Structure 1
Amino acid sequence: MKSLTIKGSKRESVGKSATKALRNAGKVPCVVYGGDETVHFSAYETEFQNLIYTPDVFRVVLELEGGETIDCALQDIQFHPVTDQILHIDFYQLFDGTPISMTIPVRVSGNARGVKNGGVLRIINRRLRVRALPKNLPDFIDVDITNMKIGDVYTVGDVKTEDFEFLQDDKEVICQVRTSRTAIVDEADEDEDDEDEEGAEGDTEGAAEGAENTEAPAEE
């Protein structure tokens, strides 16, 4: 997982007036949970630009005044409903030996066979919840759709993973290729159907010949 450093300072007062003063100064009040004690700190809003306005997930190294550092991950963020100003951010402290649950973005790669034939790719889940040790958390979940035909679905169970586990059911659909009015028949599928039909015709002819051979001889 990518790492991002944020510089901040601890705040002693957490009252409404102190919080309002921080925001007026262009700072964001923040909290880090999950450790031996809750850490209240603030940082300038510009510190969070690369953390928030991106689909990527980061491991945050929080550098506080006095040389203290805390490894953490973004847990929750609150925006002003009108101005979109960042009002508050919650972080969760990370420990190397303790698993953590996080939402990881899905990255679709490849050009689906069914889309080439006129089908439509529909992405159902763009982010998935996983659980793993901090060092094993992926930057993204890769979904290769190259071999997907019209009617195929790609589920959570189709993703190969060793270092982390999904918190969704294996049958949860990530994406699917749906048919459309412009869709054409896949040649490979058509060939398979033709072989099946030829086999069926051969069986029918053989059965007919067998029936003819069982007819009684005509009387002389």
Structure 2
Amino acid sequence: MTNQSNIEITAHPRSTGKGSSRSLRKDRMIPAIVYGPSVKNIVFCLSQNDAVKYSSHRYENSVITLKSDDKNINGIQVLMKSHDFHPKTHVPTHIDFYAPDMKQVVRVNVELVFQGKPKGAAEGGVFNAIKRDLEIECLPTEIPENIIVDVTPVDLNGSLHVADLKIPAHLKVLTPGDQTVCTVAVVEEVSETPAAESEAGTEATPATPEKK
């Protein structure tokens, strides 16, 4: 399991309005908003570089601390909630942050990272990842960046299920334990006769002349 690192983003106060948002983007600043149980809607903006970096999949469950000259924003700890992207440049055009109660558990999906070479691979087995993430429940500060899955013990025609995974005690797994995480199996090649070849190999039957 990979733990989170401490992340800080500079949050700049901003005014609202469509014209204001367009002006911000020209200055390479991205409009954003933060809200939560103890935080009413507060608008701000962040640099385009920070927006691009921290809107990536890698940071979607990271706790981020907002740093600002505005005392209403400074020190708020947030999670990335959602974001809009420009259809051509793929640069974020707006970001929503959620400020959770840091003493209450949250539900998130955490990426699974598969490591090792399955035993079954030596016998011709092919590894297949069935699940890519797990739904878990934990405190915001305990959300892991990912969960490592060691696939070394998986034999040919074997599999791992959610219940087989080694999960730290402070993480409550919500994904059902009987769900398959990965398998190792032989891929059978299906031999198909091309339609053209089949048709070419079939002799035409002469038509029977009609009786007069």
Q: TM-score band (shorter)?
A: 0.7 to 0.9
Alignment correspondent of 1:125: 131
SS at 1:90 equivalent: strand
**Structure 1 position 114, deviation (Å):** 0.8
The answer to whether the Cα contact below 8 Å between 1:107 and 1:141 also exists between their aligned partners in 2 is yes
Structure 1 residue 58 corresponds to structure 2 residue 65: no
Instruction: Tell me if 1:166 matches 2:169.
Output: no
Structure 2 counterpart of 1:88, one-letter code = H
Counterpart residue number, 2:183: 176
Which one has the bigger helix percentage? 1
Alpha-carbon deviations, 1:155-202, whole Å to 9, x = none?
A: 2222233111223222222221121359xxxxxxxxxxxxxxxxxxxx
Report the residue type matching 2:22 in the other structure: K
Q: Which amino acid aligns with 2:65?
A: V
Task: Quote the offset at 1:135 in angstroms.
Answer: 2.6
Shift of 1:133: 0.7
1:80–1:97 CA distance, 2 compared to 1 (3 A): same
2:135, 2:14 → 1: CA distance?
32
- Is the Cα contact below 8 Å between 2:30 and 2:51 reproduced in 1? no
Contact 2:34 2:42 in 1 (8 A): yes
Q: Which runs of 5+ in 1 are unaligned?
A: 183-220
1:139 aligns with 2:145: yes
For the pair 1:26 / 2:28, whether they are aligned, the reply is yes
Determine whether 1:88 maps to 2:94. Answer: yes
* Offset, 1:109: 1.5
Q: Greater relative contact order (Cα 8 A, min sep 6): structure 1 or 2?
A: 2
2:196 paired residue number? none
Aligned residue for 2:10?
A: 7
Contact 1:6/1:48, CA 8 A, preserved across alignment: no
Structure 2 stretches of 5 or more lacking a match? 190-212
Partner of 1:203: none
1:31-110 equivalences under 5 Å are 31-34=33-36, 35-53=38-56, 55-56=58-59, 57-66=61-70, 68-110=74-116
- Could you say what the CA RMSD is over the residues aligned between the two structures, in angstroms? 2.0
Aligned to 1:151: 157
Tell me the residue number matched to 2:202.
none
TM-score (norm 1): 0.74
CA distance in 2, matches of 1:81, 1:172: 36
Bigger Cα Rg: 1
Q: Read off the aligned partner of 2:26 and give its amino acid letter.
A: N
Aligned residue for 2:20, secondary structure, equals helix
Whether the 8 Å contact between 1:4 and 1:51 is mirrored in structure 2 is no
Rounded to whole Å, the distance in 1 between the matches of 2:91 and 2:54 is 15
C-alpha distance in 1 between matches for 2:161 and 2:18: 46
